[in-house]
Amino acid sequence: MTAGRRALAFAWRSLVRQPARATLGILGVAAVGALLFDMLLLSEGLVISMRGLLDRLDYDVRVTATDALPGTGPTIDGATGVAAAAAALPSVRSVTTLRIADAAFERGGLSTRGSLQGLGGTSTRRPWTLLRGQDVGGAGELVINEAGARQLGLGPGSSVTVRASCSDQREAAPPVAFRVAGVVAFPFDSPELVTAATTANSLAEACAGLGAEAADFLLVASKGDPTATVADIAALPFALRAFTNEQVIGRLEEGGFTYFRQISAVLTTVTVSFALLLITVLLTVSVNQRLGEIAALRALGFTRARASADIFAESALIVGLGGLLSLPLGVLLAEGLDRILKRMPGIPEQLHFFVFEPQALAVHGALLAATAVLAALYPMWIVARLPIAATLRNEVIS
C-alpha cells in the first residue's frame, strides 16, 4: 500500500472513530457545497439561458435604430424598405421585421391586456412554436400564447377583439376582430403575460394605420457569419445598429446580469470561507484531542510528513464526501430557487437563473479541493511542530 493510500485508510478509520464529528463535517460541507454549487450555476445561468433562447429563434443578428437593446429604444422607420435592403445583402439569408404594440384582448365578457406583435419582411420562418391549430395565414388572423388562450378561453377558430395602443400616448385604436389561427409558444413567454402575433399589415390595421412602416427591431438570419452580416448592415445607408446574439448577451452582461454575477461572487466567497472555517475548526479540535496519540506515533517512528498527511487525508475525505453529497443537494436547491425567482413578474418561462454547465462542476471541485488544502494547513502545522517529548510528558502529567 502506498503512503498516500495508507494515510487515506488511516484517516477513514479516524473519521469512523468519531462518527458525530465526521457527520457534522460532511453535512456541513454538503450544505455549504450545495450553496456554492448553486452560486456557480447562478453566476452564468441567466447568460447561458438567454443565449439558448436567442439561439433557439434561429436568428443570429438583431437590428435596432439605436444602441438600445431590442424592444427598448425608438422604432426603425421605413422598416419594409430597410428589410428589403438588408435581405438583398449577400451575407443575409432572411429578414423579419417585428413591431410590438400594447393591446387589450376581449372575448365575450372576458378581457385581458398584453402585447400584439406584427411580423413582416422576407422570412417565412416564425419566431414561435406552433402548439395547436395553424400558423398565421392571412389578414385578420393571429396566433396567441397559452396564457391568452387560457385567460380568454380561446382556441383555433375562435374570435377575439383587439384594441391596440400604438402611439406613445397609449391611445387605444378602434377595436378590430381577429380570428385565432393557432395557439403558440413564444420563446420569451411568461406564464401570465398574454402575447399574440399577426402580420405587420394586420397590426397596422389594428393600429388604424398608425406607424404602419415602423418596426421595433429586425430579426436577421445570416448565412453563417453573423459578424460579417453585422458589418454589412452597418454599411447600409440607414441609421441602424446591428448586434450578433453574442453582442446582445454581452450588453445584457454589462447591464442587469452583472448583479447576479456579483451576488454570486460574494456568496461564493462567503460559502467557501464558511467551509474553510468549519473544517479547520473540526480538524484542529480533533488534533488537539489526539496530541498524545500523535506524539506516540511520532515516537514510534512516524515522520512529520506522514503524521501531517493523515490530517490532510482527513480533510480531503470530509470535503470530498461532503462535496459529492452537495451536488444532488445543490441541484434540488437550484430547482427550488429557480421556481421562486421565476415568480417575479415578466420573467420568461423558458428563462432559467440556475443552469448547469460542466465548467461550474469543475470550478466547484477546484474550490472544494482548495478548501480541503487550506483547511488542513493549520492543523497540519500543529502536527508538524508538535514537540514529541514535551507532549508525552504533558500527557502523563495531565
Partner 1 sequence: MAIIDASNVSRVFPMPAGPVTAVRGVSLTIAEAEHTAIKGPSGCGKSPLLHMLGCVDTPSAGTLLFDGRDVSALSDRERSLLRLRQIGFVFQRFFLLPMLTAAENVELPQAEAGVPPGERRRRSRELLDYVGLGARADHRPSQLSGGEMQRVAIARALANRPRLLLADEPTGELDEATGEQIAALLDRVNADGTALVIVTHDHELANRARRVLTMRDGRIEREDTR
Beta carbons of 266 and 285 less than 8 angstroms apart:
no
Binding of partner 1 by 303 (CB under 8 A): yes
Q: Which stretch binds partner 1 (CB under 8 A): 146-154, 217-225, 303-311, 312-320?
A: 303-311
Shorter beta-carbon distance to partner 1: residue 258 or 303? 303
Binding of partner 1 by 395 (CB under 8 A): yes
| Residue in 186, 302, 353, 354 binding partner 1, rule: CB under 8 A | 302
- Residue 199: strand pairing partners: 119
| Residue in 139, 235, 299, 370 binding partner 1, rule: CB under 8 A | 299
Which amino acid, one-letter code, is at 210? L
Cα distances from 38 to residues 73, 90, 267, 282, 333, in angstroms, run 34, 45, 10, 25, 7
Shorter beta-carbon distance to partner 1: residue 47 or 380? 380
Site for partner 1 in 14-43 (CB under 8 A): 14, 16-17
| Burial status of residue 235 (CB atoms within 10 A of its CB: 0-12, 13-18, 19 or more) | exposed
Shorter beta-carbon distance to partner 1: residue 292 or 348? 292
Label each residue of 83-138 as H, E or C.
Answer: HHHHHCCCCEEEEEEEEEEEEEEEECCEEEEEEEEEEEECCCCCCCEEEEECCCCC
| Residue in 90, 109, 301, 358 binding partner 1, rule: CB under 8 A | 301
Quote the cell numbers at residue 328.
444532488
Minimum distance from residue 21 beta carbon to partner 1 (Å): 12
Minimum distance from residue 293 beta carbon to partner 1 (Å): 6
Binding of partner 1 by 296 (CB under 8 A): yes
| Residue in 292, 331, 361, 374 binding partner 1, rule: CB under 8 A | 292
Distance of alpha carbon 251 from alpha carbon 254, whole angstroms: 5
Residue with cell 448592415: 233
Binding stretches for partner 1 (CB under 8 A):
1, 6, 13-14, 16-17, 292-293, 296-306, 388-390, 392-393, 395-396
